[in-house]
């Protein structure tokens, strides 16, 4: 209400009208006292026990947000048995980001909700708020924490300054030039993400919308953006022609369009011109510092830029062959321009990932990754990718958690839309340290940016696995293993979850039946051996262990897996000896999770295990 203040001014006052009533809850035909409150806003556990926690407040907030966004509260049927209908209603009103957040607040199981109300704020917070909705709802959350507030409103359309860059279509007829379209699309997305006032959909999300049958209005609506950048490229008389359109999603009308022409040697300049023109027609003001930073990310050598685009195209595949080809492409770019900072950062990522996946001996690669990422930052101290690359290498090589965290934070500060920085920060730094609440907060951002990606779901499942919430991890992973070609990391992590839940037979059945790629055979065998040990089939486990030990002696990075088998067999001394080998050789893929790996829990009381944690700065 409004009351008079000093000097005749009005001031707003929030007051409690005392409208809560004594609530009776019917359980098994009996009426029980369920405390005081407004029944429609009371969490299920509050109705049963009359105990009010922050998680019950979160449930009430979910009811409020649903009413604000859709104009009506959720029905009991929507809350309990027909959540798909509620999800569709919320998504239609406000988009997937809001729908997912509200549904999580309204989980019947309080442990499935956000751990802290601050996590809701972080999940919903846009990079640059452009409408009334975010400040209003942020205020609602703060006031609910302080004591409660009720009000209604309706969401507006997505702001015009939210956009997605759809993949540029290759109309040259030459599939060998696909890298050009992918490279230009990624570079435009990165450039526009760095511009203040623009909310840009992740490239991995926008990349799913392509093809001649694409309806831009439908695509934009599904991504909940206000505008789209679309285009293609073709070759004529040795020149590239790149028609670009900027479309308004709601009306389907063109905001602006232009065809750019030039040779591949001018591609970097053309791309920069396109990004600048898009910003201009969206009325985004580029300061001198932003404009200068964007220009610094380009090379003046066309051959270097062409090789760099090829490298980014191959790196995005995340396959062994793709990583090795990307390495060659980035090295070629650097022969043409040794001072090309983005190529140095790309090369650092390739080296770190080759080491992380155990594809090549790790230490030399990680030293090179650390060196090249530092060189990139000496050339350009505003390059978010280089800070992320250095953070990754610092963690894998030196277990420099503090220095890596500073790098991740700086990368996100420079480019809040850089999904890889959020992902690696969550999974490679926060999760290994047991900081699961912070890891979830980072992955919540990734989920908002790319909710349907198997890698996003896998990352979230990893956090739940290592924090001991195996049931939730299982719920996330089981849909990922259906079909004829299941995602191998999902198969292995799901099997480990089954082992923790003492569903050993289910784990063995999955490991035996799911198709496996040749390069994943050793890892799959190791988990099977652990399952055999858990079921008393020690002879089978020992047989597999012996095969893996022979491969370790031949130089294969399998010491960590053998340590897990020794642990399952109860041989703690040999397990720790193998872990020390894994540490000395930097078998980084699983070694990072030494402190939180549930399969190694029996070793935690051993003094030598604690000493190893100390070597890794995890004490």
Give the helix, strand, coil percentages of the chain, each rounded to 5. Answer: 60, 10, 30
- The pLDDT tens digits for 242-273 are 999 998 888 888 889 999 988 877 888 888 88
Domain 39-146 is classified in which CATH homologous superfamily? Answer: Transferase(Phosphotransferase) domain 1 (1.10.510.10)
Confidence of residue 424 (pLDDT cuts 50, 70, 90): very high
Residue 455 makes CB contacts below 8 A (sequence gap 6+) with: 423
Percent of the chain having pLDDT more than 90? 42
Confidence of residue 14 (pLDDT cuts 50, 70, 90): low
Distance, in Å, from the CA atom of 195 to the CA atom of 218, rounded to the nearest integer, reads 25
pLDDT at residue 130, as a whole number: 44
Please give the helix or strand (H or E) that residue 362 lies within, else none: helix 362-379
Look-up of token digits 């939730």: 472
- The pLDDT tens digits for 174-232 are 888 888 888 888 888 888 887 777 778 877 777 777 777 778 778 888 777 888 898 89
**If you average pLDDT over residues 415-435, what whole number do you get?**
92
Alpha-carbon torsion (219, 223, 226, 230), positive or negative: negative
pLDDT at residue 51, as a whole number: 63
Tell me the sheet residues that pair with 400: none
The three-class DSSP label of residue 199 is strand
**If you average pLDDT over residues 119-137, what whole number do you get?**
60
CA 451 to chain centroid, in Å, comes to 8
* Residue 403 CA neighbour count, 13 Å, CB half: 15
Specify whether the CB–CB gap between 450 and 419 falls below 8 A: yes
Specify whether the CB–CB gap between 168 and 181 falls below 8 A: yes
Distance, in Å, from the CA atom of 433 to the CA atom of 485, rounded to the nearest integer, reads 33
Q: What is the DSSP letter of 570?
A: T
Distance, in Å, from the CA atom of 423 to the CA atom of 193, rounded to the nearest integer, reads 17
128 pLDDT above the threshold of 90: no
Confidence of residue 154 (pLDDT cuts 50, 70, 90): very low
Q: Which residue did the predictor score with more confidence, 360 or 430?
A: 430
Residue environment code for 372-410, b if the CB has 16+ CB neighbours within 10 A, otherwise e: bbbbbbebbebbbbbbbbbbbbbbbbbbbbeebbebbeb
Confidence of residue 151 (pLDDT cuts 50, 70, 90): very low
Specify whether the CB–CB gap between 466 and 593 falls below 8 A: yes
319 pLDDT above the threshold of 90: no
Task: Name, of 4-13, 136-145, 393-402, 433-442, the range with top average pLDDT.
Answer: 393-402
Percent of the chain having pLDDT more than 70? 86
pLDDT at residue 149, as a whole number: 33
CA 581 to chain centroid, in Å, comes to 31
463 pLDDT above the threshold of 50: yes
Q: Which residue did the predictor score with more confidence, 94 or 484?
A: 94
CATH code that applies to domain 299-415: 1.25.40.10
Confidence of residue 608 (pLDDT cuts 50, 70, 90): very high
400 pLDDT above the threshold of 90: yes
Nearest to 597 by CA among 554, 556, 568, 573: 568
Around Cβ 436, how many Cβ atoms within 10 Å?
Answer: 20
Task: Name, of 89-93, 260-264, 608-612, the range with top average pLDDT.
Answer: 608-612
Around Cβ 147, how many Cβ atoms within 10 Å?
Answer: 9
pLDDT at residue 148, as a whole number: 38
What CATH class has 162-297? Answer: alpha beta
126 pLDDT above the threshold of 80: no
Confidence of residue 45 (pLDDT cuts 50, 70, 90): confident
pLDDT at residue 190, as a whole number: 82
Q: Which of 37-41, 495-499, 502-506, 609-613 has the lowest mean pLDDT?
A: 37-41
pLDDT at residue 150, as a whole number: 33
Confidence of residue 294 (pLDDT cuts 50, 70, 90): low
Q: Which residue did the predictor score with more confidence, 192 or 603?
A: 603
* Phi and psi angles of residue 57, each rounded to the nearest 5 degrees, phi first: -60, -40
36 pLDDT above the threshold of 70: no
24 pLDDT above the threshold of 50: no
- DSSP assignments along 145-175, one per residue: HHT---------PPPTTEEEEPPPEE-SS-G
Residue 354 makes CB contacts below 8 A (sequence gap 6+) with: 323, 324, 327, 360, 365
The three-class DSSP label of residue 418 is coil
Strands 227-236, 169-170: pairing is: parallel
Nearest to 37 by CA among 27, 24, 28, 26: 24
Distance, in Å, from the CA atom of 155 to the CA atom of 251, rounded to the nearest integer, reads 18
Confidence of residue 156 (pLDDT cuts 50, 70, 90): very low
Specify whether the CB–CB gap between 370 and 390 falls below 8 A: yes
**If you average pLDDT over residues 461-468, what whole number do you get?**
95
414 pLDDT above the threshold of 80: yes
* Phi and psi angles of residue 107, each rounded to the nearest 5 degrees, phi first: -60, 140
The torsion defined by the Cα of 36, 40, 42 and 44, in degrees rounded to 10, comes to 130
For the chain, how long is the longest CA-to-CA vector? Answer: 88
55 pLDDT above the threshold of 90: no
pLDDT at residue 127, as a whole number: 53
pLDDT at residue 152, as a whole number: 34
Q: Helices 54-70 and 133-146, interaxial angle, to 10°?
A: 150
8 pLDDT above the threshold of 60: no
Specify whether the CB–CB gap between 426 and 443 falls below 8 A: yes
Q: Helices 504-513 and 521-534, interaxial angle, to 10°?
A: 150
291 pLDDT above the threshold of 80: no
Distance, in Å, from the CA atom of 374 to the CA atom of 297, rounded to the nearest integer, reads 16
Count how many residues are written for the chain: 619
Tell me the sheet residues that pair with 60: none
CATH fold group of domain 516-619? 1.25.40
> Rounded mean pLDDT of the chain?
83
Indicate the domain borders of the chain: 39-146, 162-297, 299-415, 516-619
The 3-class SS string of 31-92 reads EEEEEEECHHHCCHHHHHHCCCCHHHHHHHHHHHHHHHHHCCCCCHHHHHCCHHHHHHHHHH
**If you average pLDDT over residues 389-413, what whole number do you get?**
95
Distance, in Å, from the CA atom of 156 to the CA atom of 133, rounded to the nearest integer, reads 8
**If you average pLDDT over residues 410-418, what whole number do you get?**
87
Domain 162-297 shares a fold with domain 299-415: no
Q: Which of 210-219, 543-552, 580-589 has the lowest mean pLDDT?
A: 210-219
Confidence of residue 22 (pLDDT cuts 50, 70, 90): very low
Q: Which of 40-49, 60-69, 517-526 has the lowest mean pLDDT?
A: 40-49
């Amino acid at each position: 209400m409004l009351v008079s203040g000093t000097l005749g001014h009005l001031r707003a006052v929030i007051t409690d009208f005392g409208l809560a009533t004594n609530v009776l809850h019917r359980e098994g035909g009996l009426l029980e006292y369920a405390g005081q409150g407004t029944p429609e806003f009371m969490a299920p556990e509050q109705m049963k026990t009359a105990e009010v926690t922050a998680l019950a407040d979160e449930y009430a907030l979910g009811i409020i947000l649903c009413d604000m966004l859709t104009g009506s509260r959720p029905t009991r049927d929507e809350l309990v048995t027909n959540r798909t209908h509620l999800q569709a209603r919320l998504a239609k009103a406000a988009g997937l980001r809001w729908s997912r957040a509200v549904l999580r607040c309204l989980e019947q199981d309080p442990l499935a909700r956000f751990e802290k109300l601050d996590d809701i704020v972080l999940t919903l917070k846009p990079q640059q708020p452009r409408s009334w909705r975010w400040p209003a709802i942020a205020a609602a959350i703060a006031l609910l924490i302080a004591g409660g507030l009720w009000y209604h409103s309706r969401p507006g359309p997505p702001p015009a300054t939210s956009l997605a860059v759809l993949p540029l279509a290759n109309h040259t007829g030459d599939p060998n030039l696909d890298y050009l379209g992918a490279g230009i699309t990624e570079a435009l997305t990165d450039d526009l993400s760095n511009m203040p006032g623009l909310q840009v959909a992740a490239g991995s999300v926008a990349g799913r919308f392509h093809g001649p049958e694409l309806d831009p209005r439908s695509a934009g609506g599904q991504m909940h953006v206000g505008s789209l950048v679309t285009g293609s490229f073709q070759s004529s008389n040795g020149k590239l022609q790149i028609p670009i359109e900027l479309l308004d999603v709601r009306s389907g009308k063109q905001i602006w369009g232009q065809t750019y022409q030039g040779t591949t040697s001018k591609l970097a300049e053309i791309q920069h011109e396109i990004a600048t023109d898009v910003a201009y027609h969206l009325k985004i003001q580029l300061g001198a510092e932003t404009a200068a930073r964007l220009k610094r990310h380009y090379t003046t050598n066309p051959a270097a830029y062409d090789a760099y685009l090829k490298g980014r195209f191959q790196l995005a595949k995340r396959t062994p062959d793709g990583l090795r080809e990307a390495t060659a492409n980035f090295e070629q770019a650097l022969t043409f321009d040794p001072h090309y900072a983005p190529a140095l950062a790309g090369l650092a990522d390739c080296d770190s990932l080759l080491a992380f996946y155990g594809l090549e001996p790790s230490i030399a690669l990680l030293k090179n990754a650390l060196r090249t990422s530092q060189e990139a930052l000496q050339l350009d101290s505003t390059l978010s990718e280089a800070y992320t690359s250095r953070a990754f290498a610092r963690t894998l090589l030196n277990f420099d958690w503090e220095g890596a965290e500073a790098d991740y934070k700086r990368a996100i500060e420079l480019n809040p839309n850089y999904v890889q920085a959020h992902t690696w920060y969550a999974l490679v730094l926060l999760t290994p340290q047991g900081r699961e609440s912070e890891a979830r907060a980072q992955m919540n951002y990734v989920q908002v940016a790319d909710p349907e990606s198997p890698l996003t779901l896998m990352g979230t499942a990893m956090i739940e696995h290592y924090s001991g919430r195996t049931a939730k991890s299982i719920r996330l992973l089981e849909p990922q293993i259906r079909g004829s070609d299941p995602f191998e990391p999902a198969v292995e992590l799901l099997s480990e979850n089954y082992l923790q839940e003492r569903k050993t037979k289910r784990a063995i059945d999955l490991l035996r039946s799911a198709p496996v790629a040749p390069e994943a055979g050793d890892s799959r065998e190791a988990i099977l051996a652990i399952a055999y040990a858990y079921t008393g089939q020690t002879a089978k486990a020992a047989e597999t262990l012996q095969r893996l030990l022979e491969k370790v002696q031949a130089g294969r990075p399998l010491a960590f897996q053998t340590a897990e088998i020794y642990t399952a067999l109860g041989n703690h001394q040999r397990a720790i000896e193998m872990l020390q080998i894994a540490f000395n050789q930097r078998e980084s893929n699983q070694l990072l999770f030494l402190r939180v790996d549930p399969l190694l829990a029996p070793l935690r009381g051993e003094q030598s295990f604690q000493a190893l944690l100390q070597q890794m700065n995890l004490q």
